[in-house]
């Protein structure tokens, strides 16, 4: 994921990027609560944005360069 593109992390920022049509790809953790990830997945479907799933929130957080768990993240266009 480290290809010099801007990344936003978290449900609110990811949803905001989707609503503004700024998200190129979205990452969602499989072990996050459904009430957190469902709205993100639904917005991805609505806007035709690819979803990549990670097994754990820890893996997703580490892949975007943060030392905390993350339920969702987006790579911006």
Is this prediction's pTM over 0.85? yes
Q: Residue 1's pLDDT is what?
A: 53
Mean pLDDT of the chain: 93
pLDDT digits (tens, 9 = 90+) for 30-46: 999 999 999 999 999 99
Residue ranges per domain, the chain?
A: 7-76
Domain 7-76: CATH superfamily is Ribosomal protein L30/S12 (3.30.1330.30)
* Residue 45 token pair: 């479907």
Q: Residue 5's pLDDT is what?
A: 83
Give DSSP secondary structure letters for 1-68.
Answer: --SS--EEESHHHHHHHHHTT-EEEEEEETTS-HHHHHHHHHHHHHHT-EEEEES-HHHHHHHTT-SS
* Residue 50 token pair: 């690819």
């Amino acid at each position: 994921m480290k290809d010099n593109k801007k990344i936003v992390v978290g449900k609110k920022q990811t949803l905001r990027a989707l609503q503004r049509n700024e998200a190129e790809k979205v990452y969602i953790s499989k072990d996050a609560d459904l009430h957190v990830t469902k709205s993100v997945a639904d917005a991805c479907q609505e806007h035709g944005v690819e979803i990549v799933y990670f097994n754990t929130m820890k893996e997703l957080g580490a892949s975007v360069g943060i030392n905390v768990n993350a339920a969702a993240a987006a790579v911006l266009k």
